Chain A
Amino acid sequence: MICIAYANQISASKASDMNVPDSSTTRRTILFVDYQNMYRSAREAFGWESEGGHFGNFPVRTASGARWCASLDVC
């Protein structure tokens, strides 16, 4: 209960920043990225642990973000 109350409080402060339409005709998709987790996971999963530090950065850039979302068929 406390957790939900806290979540409500947080969401009230953060939701105001958001540009998220309330719509019943579209499926609104939000991408949540745990950036460091995905970085480490990529380096481990693809055997890049001994490669340069730039290997494995999650491609957040949004121009490509929309593209990758579509190309991976997730949004």
Chain B
Amino acid sequence: MVREPGRVLTQVRVYTGIHTPHRNAKQHGQMQRRMIAWVAESPETVEIFPRSLRYGIGRPPQEKGVDVELAIDLVALALDNKFDIAVLASADTDLVPAVKFVTDRFADKTVVTLAYEPIEGCTCPAALDLPSGNVDRRAVTQRDFNRIADKRNFYESASDVSAGLDPARVERIRRRYDH
């Protein structure tokens, strides 16, 4: 797509599952540090929406409700006219109805779907690619990804990732992610 002038990135909203501290303390800790680091880097812009993973017998932990929460927010923020362009980084086809609602209802809004350009022979999920006129698809190649990759190690509990962030907000984040 052609980049339009006057675009302003006003918010980054991250939806994710997170291990509970009882079931997987190491993964929980690294994810919590990762999320705090994101917020610390831009407290006015980044908002995190974590949900505890669900554990079953004989299967890997699963996310529950993450896609629904994202879909509701996409629709709600469109209804409230909080964005002109929504960049949606997901290949989850469960989000298609929400994207379709936004683009059908609001002719002045654009949804950009962002997904990875697979290597040859990959059987991975296809990018969201809707026929609607206000949906643009942007493929991220492996070269793109390597250029922007975040290679920090959040397993080191000693690293202080909350420097510069309001301690009250750090505490609020920790409490929120510890339920």
A residues with a Cβ closer than 8 A to B are 3-4, 6-8, 10-11, 14-15, 17-22, 25-38, 41-42, 44-47, 54, 57-69, 71-75
B65, CB-defined interface residue at 8 Å: no
Q: Given A59-B149, A64-B148, are A11 and B15 also a contact pair (CB < 8 Å)? A: no
B147 contacts across to A, CB distance below 8 A: 68, 71
A32 touches B119 (CB 8 A): no
Min CB–CB distance B69 → chain A (angstroms): 8
List 10 contacting pairs A-B, 8 Å CB cutoff, sorted by A: A7-B72, A10-B72, A15-B76, A28-B85, A32-B13, A32-B87, A33-B89, A36-B66, A65-B45, A72-B138
The residue of chain B having its C-beta at the shortest distance from the C-beta of A11 within the complex is: B76
B3, CB-defined interface residue at 8 Å: yes
Min CB–CB distance B22 → chain A (angstroms): 20
B148 touches A59 (CB 8 A): yes
**How big is the B interface, by class?**
35 or more
Min CB–CB distance A70 → chain B (angstroms): 8
User: Looking at the complex, which one of A33, A47, A72 makes contact with B140 (CB distance below 8 Å)?
Assistant: A72
User: Looking at the complex, which one of A26, A32, A37, A54 makes contact with B7 (CB distance below 8 Å)?
Assistant: A26
Binding site secondary structure of chain B: mixed
Alpha-carbon distance between A40 and B47 when the two chains are bound, in angstroms: 21
B residues with a Cβ closer than 8 A to A are 1, 3-4, 6-17, 34, 37-38, 41-42, 44-47, 63, 66-67, 70, 72-77, 79-92, 95, 112, 114-119, 122-125, 138, 140, 142, 144-145, 147-153
Alpha-carbon distance between A25 and B117 when the two chains are bound, in angstroms: 33
Q: Given A15-B80, A60-B14, are A32 and B150 also a contact pair (CB < 8 Å)? A: no
B41 touches A38 (CB 8 A): no
B76 contacts across to A, CB distance below 8 A: 7-8, 10-11, 14-15
Min CB–CB distance A54 → chain B (angstroms): 7
B12 touches A45 (CB 8 A): no
B42 touches A65 (CB 8 A): yes
The residue of chain B having its C-beta at the shortest distance from the C-beta of A48 within the complex is: B142
